[in-house]
Structure 1
Amino acid sequence: MDRAELVELLSPEGLRLLDSLPEWDSKADVVRTVADLRKLGHSPGLVAAVLGQARLRQKARAKFGEFAQRMLFTEAGLEQATRLKVAALHAGRFARAGIGHVADLGCGIGGDSLALAAVDLEVTAADADEVTAAVAAFNLTPFPKARVLHARAEEVPLGGIGGAWLDPARRTTSGGRTTRLADASAYTPPLDFAFGLADRMAVGVKLGPGTDREVIPAGSEAQWVSVDGDVVELGVWFGPLARPGVGRAALVIRGDQAFELTAAADSADAPTGPLGDYLYEPDGAVIRARLIGDLARANAGWMLSDGIAYVTADRAFESPFARGFRVLERLPNDERRLRQALAERGIGTLEIKKRGVDVDPARLRTSLKLKGEASATLAVTREQGQRVTLLVERL
């Protein structure tokens, strides 16, 4: 969305038209909708702007729920925005630490600022992009204690502000294409600036879950967060926002429930051993936080092979930190014999899970020429270094 489109959208006519539209339906005849709106006298620019926002509002429901219908978005801003349930947890940290005024530096469309303002904290939000800052200002209109600046994070005056939240831009857009930045030093604002603020105030920094662990400063708390099986962020916390004795944390959110595994540092892997009766796939947040060993030991399990994120055990256990499978039988590793074994069992639908082996599940599924009414799950991995193919069923 450019500046001209935003001006159209923020006009009284634009906002009225946007709010009057029905919920976006991707299967609807968009050409006809455009024609109908044009017949009512709306300009082409306004029609494009409101339909673009209607589509983004529908897409944003996954992150913002019903709040999405009262917000404005940019494509890039929505992609990087924090889910509202996770943003609420961020805000809770600042509130519990007694920090009454928070700077949201690089606020994007204002998702985290919304959560901060919702717990009655004073918020100074800033974004270097003029359109994005204007969108954030619109979204924060209901909160009188929140203000938005069009400014780079490094330019925001921080006098009298007790804490800062930063979500550095990790993508760059050129020629209409967005590219993820691999080099953390190229983020906006740079990580040196973000982490450096911790010398003067309480700071939290949101990073991608796959961020190189080498950039995490010593003495900070690193918390990986997954939502319904999807690892969504790495939060790095400093000062009073970091919990004493917690250097690594895996926060697993499933529906409306949250579970957490914490440790002072990376946990040592559990010993390896032969396959037990059950196989467990740790949640991605547990894997990223390197707490697989603690998970295994807490449930009388062991590692299936060095460097592979599978836990095995002789008894079933329930844990929010792992998905469990009952091992039914070992199958041949050879594709021809595996195809025959699956055909004998009438398996026509196959989920293929793999870890530690060079297997393309889509190619393997095609080569197996599956036929039959039964469905099954196949785990292709290593047992104490040796490749194994296992027929398993979810617990």
Structure 2
Amino acid sequence: MAQASNDFTLIEQFAALLSEDGWKLLSTIDPSMVASKDAAWALNEKLRKEGHDPKVVRAVMAQAELRFRARVKFGPFADSLVLTPAGLEQATRLTIAGLHARRYTNAGSTHVADLGCGIGTDSIALASAGLQVTAVELDETTAAATTLNLMPFDNAKVIHGSAEDTDLTGIDGVWLDPARRTDVKGSTRRLFDPEAFSPPLSFVEKLVDSGLDVGVKLGPGLPHEAIPENAEAVWISDHGSVIEACLWFGKLKRKDIARAALVIDKDGAHELSSADTAENDQPAPVGDLQAHIYEPDGAVIRSHLISTLLEQTGGHLLDEHIAYFTHEQQISTPFARGYKVLAVHDYNVKKLRSWVKSNGIGTLDIKKRGVDVTPEELRRILLAGTPKCAKNKATLILARLGDKRVAFEVIPH
């Protein structure tokens, strides 16, 4: 089992945390009190000097640090959750969990089993929507955390057990978030083969064949050839980060939609969809550079919906293997970020360094596709020796067009 620190296991940490002193002490700690290493160190010393058991202090500090990190996903609600490191890493953001729950209410589900519930954020959303929830978790410590997180809901219960062995009698909807990591010599490694997940994708298909309405959360790198023909696949991007791919079956699947990209930004949620699988797409048009370059959102790229986006917006790809497309006009779309092209440079490090120096560039943003280079390393090389007085900003888009590598000098819309 993963260790919290040295020989202090996660089970021991929870035992200390759930002691009378641990639980009381945790309620007095604002997670912002551990926002930095220095602050955390100072709080740790303070609590020890007050006479608290060192194991209790370590457990409370670990939980406070997890809650502070969790604010990115859960906002202020993080301060009321009991977390584990692995559970936090894989947990669904609450806003996204709400979207999942809406699928079940729209489909008329009444009792949903959350198989592999982790710390229970999807179960919380399902229960908040008024559904009866049975949350199942194989890891004993995580199941204990979920039990605490679901205590406010009398319509939810937690079972410590495996997804495959769960009795689904009386349940009409199933939600799964399979474990997609495995322990390797004390560390975790991400899995990409859907049959290596726990439970595997084949188990999901058995549930579907039994007549249940099933939803499953997978990683955004899900290969299209692994998607069952009877599934609707949705890739979700949250403020520029592609966070998951969901498969929906039965009544949870919408009619006439095979795949979709759901893009969430400051203006709300936007969806691009297609009734066809990616294999049936018509090739996207390819042509010469025009006045503007657009980078599709990652969810659009992952869902292979660039051709659909081009049908809606016009324009064409610069290269059939590169996701950037170009357009004569400045267009507004939530599905792509646009740039006005100022100049085109050969991808030559020496010439680009000269360009940086002669233009007094001190801040350089680099984006790339199809070019084997690390933007951070190239930025360091290009800005090396730049005088402190260089205050200008610039953006480069690197791309491979056929056999040629080019650098587009652009400004964001």
Rounded Cα–Cα distance in structure 2 between residues aligned with 1:275 and 1:234 = 32
**Residue 152 in 1 paired to residue 162 in 2?**
yes
Q: Tell me the amino acid that sits aligned with residue 12 of structure 1.
A: E
> What's the offset of the Cα at 1:7?
1.9
> What's the offset of the Cα at 1:50?
0.6
> What's the offset of the Cα at 1:234?
0.4
Tell me the equivalent position of 1:207.
218
**Residue 177 in 1 paired to residue 199 in 2?**
no
Deviations 1:10-52 (A, max 9, x none): 2232221101013332243434422322233321111111100
Structure 1: 4+ residue segments shifted above 6 A: none
Deviations 1:178-215 (A, max 9, x none): 21123322211121112221112000000000122221
> What's the offset of the Cα at 1:357?
2.0
> What's the offset of the Cα at 1:256?
6.0
**Residue 391 in 1 paired to residue 409 in 2?**
yes
3-state DSSP of counterpart to 2:333: coil
Deviations 1:98-144 (A, max 9, x none): 00100000000001000000111000000000000010010000000
Q: Within 5 Å, which residues of 2 pair with 1:19-168?
A: 19-22=27-30, 23=32, 24-168=34-178
Tell me the equivalent position of 2:342.
328
Count residues with an aligned counterpart: 395
- Asked whether the equivalents of residues 269 and 294 of structure 1 are also in contact (C-alpha less than 8 Å), the reply is no
Indicate the percent of aligned positions where both proteins have the same amino acid: 48
What RMSD in Å do the two structures reach over aligned CA positions?
1.5
Q: Tell me the amino acid that sits aligned with residue 379 of structure 1.
A: I
Shift in CA distance, 347/32, structure 1 to aligned 2, threshold 3 Å: closer
- Asked whether the equivalents of residues 291 and 328 of structure 2 are also in contact (C-alpha less than 8 Å), the reply is yes
3-state DSSP of counterpart to 2:147: helix
Structure 1 residue runs without a partner (length 5+): none
**Residue 17 in 1 paired to residue 25 in 2?**
yes
Q: Tell me the amino acid that sits aligned with residue 255 of structure 2.
A: P
- Asked whether the equivalents of residues 259 and 320 of structure 1 are also in contact (C-alpha less than 8 Å), the reply is yes
Shift in CA distance, 359/41, structure 1 to aligned 2, threshold 3 Å: closer
- Asked whether the equivalents of residues 315 and 326 of structure 2 are also in contact (C-alpha less than 8 Å), the reply is yes
> What's the offset of the Cα at 1:336?
2.0
3-state DSSP of counterpart to 1:134: helix
Shift in CA distance, 325/306, structure 1 to aligned 2, threshold 3 Å: same
3-state DSSP of counterpart to 1:28: helix
- Asked whether the equivalents of residues 66 and 85 of structure 2 are also in contact (C-alpha less than 8 Å), the reply is yes
Tell me the equivalent position of 2:392.
374
3-state DSSP of counterpart to 1:368: helix
TM-score, scaled relative to structure 1: 0.96
Q: Tell me the amino acid that sits aligned with residue 74 of structure 2.
A: F
- Asked whether the equivalents of residues 192 and 221 of structure 2 are also in contact (C-alpha less than 8 Å), the reply is no
Of stretches 151-160 and 5-14 in structure 1, the one that deviates more from structure 2 is: 5-14
Instruction: Identify the match of residue 226 of structure 1 among 215, 224, 237.
Output: 237
Structure 2 residue runs without a partner (length 5+): 5-9
Instruction: Identify the match of residue 355 of structure 1 among 369, 372, 389.
Output: 369
- Asked whether the equivalents of residues 268 and 294 of structure 1 are also in contact (C-alpha less than 8 Å), the reply is no
- Asked whether the equivalents of residues 269 and 303 of structure 1 are also in contact (C-alpha less than 8 Å), the reply is no
Rounded Cα–Cα distance in structure 1 between residues aligned with 2:400 and 2:282 = 19
Instruction: Identify the match of residue 356 of structure 2 among 342, 360, 365.
Output: 342
Shift in CA distance, 269/376, structure 1 to aligned 2, threshold 3 Å: farther
